[in-house]
Amino acid sequence: MSWHTGRMPEPVTGPLAGLLVADFSRVLAGPYAAMTLGDLGADVIKVERPGAGDDTRSWGPPWVDGVATYYTALNRNKRSLTLDLSDPADRVLAVELAERADVLVENFRPGTLDRYGLGYEAVSANNPRLIYCSITGFGAATEEAADLSGYDLLVQAMSGLMSITGRPDGQPTKVGVAVVDHVTALQSTIGILAALDARHRTGLGQRVEVSLMGSALAALINQGSAHVGAGVVPGRMGNRHPSVAPYQTFPAADGWFVVACGNDGQFAKVAAAVGLPDLATDARFATNSARIANLDDLEAALVTAFSTGTVEHWIAALTAGGVPAGPINDIGQAFTDATRLGIAPVVTTEADGRLERTVRSPIGLSATPTSVRRNAPVLGEHDAELRTWLAAPR
């Protein structure tokens, strides 16, 4: 349980029940990290600008009952408190919230919150147990880094991610969602949870610093390692894989599907399934390294074979043979498949007669499960109760 007094209790049994999170962030990475903590049981107070709120409140379409679905995707399990940090009275309440919190999440430009008495050094002096998570675009090690704007598209471009996404003969392509923001949110959550665990041993909080650029570079995984370890500068390969084959999309007679063949044994099963067992013993294709070296020839042989059957036929044949293969779903089909497979990907909450459907947390905990207890809040929805609470003595 938290060390703070005057906490507004909630009937929560999640693993982070009793923790207070002050969410001073906006848009995606910070709000998603704070929402994840809320799903795990924390009491999250979202601090927003009066009259405007989080940028994503206006990021529509689509809208549901006048609320942008972009906003609801990132802000359930929170209470909204509007504070004008340029107003001295509101600034006092903001500092009070920070000094009562177990975790503070912010993604202002480096140095901004210091001007309001909300920087790490100032707040931690009065709240030494605070976990203070700062999310930036490019860190704060240099003036140039601190001045750069941290937008997902910009970082997808500057991190090299776009240079390896798309067809070789096409333009660099961004991923279809703000994947860098999402990865940064997850890295931030991991850092916060690690700091909380350290606090159990030391009694002290610490600062957690995560940048979009650093998160994007870490997310390059094998592509980044290929450069760091072997000096390779990867390029765009469409849906091919630089190190594994056949691991890509293929056209069947009526559409496209994927084959994710991860080893030589699985390739022998691919060859058998398409009626070309000799491919598995052909020197050009017998090993994964050989298949990569001769990928054009391999692809040509498989494209010809797959053209003789439907997507459904080939997925069934490959799956029966133990080869990972599947359809290329649209998002609606993806949710249908997930439901059929028992994943239950959607959660519905209701507040004041308004139903809100969001994507369920993928985290399963047997003893202390995640929960969705609140809709994403209306701007300033909890001002009265929270201002009263913060003005009261601790």
pLDDT, tens digit, for every residue of 71-120? 999 999 999 999 999 999 999 999 999 999 999 999 999 999 999 999 99
What's the mean per-residue pLDDT of the chain?
95
pLDDT score, position 115: 96
pTM for the full predicted model = 0.93
Per-residue pLDDT averaged across 56-83, rounded? 96
- 107-153, pLDDT tens digit by residue? 999 999 999 999 999 999 999 999 999 999 999 999 999 999 899 99
Question: Which pLDDT does position 9 carry in this prediction?
Answer: 42
Distances (CA, A) of 16 to 2, 6, 40: 10, 18, 6
User: What is the rounded CA–CA span in Å between residue 370 and residue 349?
Assistant: 14
Q: Topology of 20-219+345-391 in CATH?
A: Rossmann fold (3.40.50)
Q: Is the pLDDT of residue 3 over 50?
A: no
H/E run at residue 120: helix 120-126
Residue 309 tokens read as 């059957």
- Burial level of 180, CB count in 10 A (0-12/13-18/19+)? buried
Q: Please check the confidence at residue 354 and state whether its pLDDT lies above 80.
A: yes
Q: Which amino acid is at 141?
A: A
Residue 42 carries which side chain, given as an amino acid letter?
A
Q: Do domains 20-219+345-391 and 247-332 have the same CATH topology?
A: no
pLDDT digits (tens, 9 = 90+) for 278-311: 999 999 999 999 999 999 999 999 999 999 999 9
Rounded to whole angstroms, what are the CA distances from 147 to 139, 144, 365? 9, 5, 40
Given 55, 181, 296, 297, which residue is catalytic? Answer: 181
Per-residue pLDDT, 366 = 95
pLDDT of residue 11: 64
Give the integer Cα–Cα distance in Å for 51 and 69.
19
The reply to whether 352 belongs to the active site is: no
Give the tens place of pLDDT for each residue, 195-224: 999 999 999 999 999 999 999 999 999 999
Q: How many whole angstroms separate alpha carbon 178 and alpha carbon 155?
A: 10
pLDDT at 351: 82
Domain extent listing, the chain: 20-219+345-391, 247-332
Mean local confidence (pLDDT), 146-165 = 96
Share of the chain above pLDDT 70, in %: 97
Sorting pLDDT into bands at 50, 70 and 90, what band is 13? confident
Query: Measured between alpha carbons, how far is 373 from 381 in angstroms, rounded to an integer?
Result: 15
For 295-311, the DSSP string reads: HHHHHHHHHHHHTTS-H
- Hey, which CATH number is domain 247-332, 3.40.50.970, 3.30.70.260, 3.30.1540.10, 3.30.1600.10? 3.30.1540.10
pLDDT tens digits along 220-256: 999 999 999 999 999 999 999 999 999 999 999 999 9
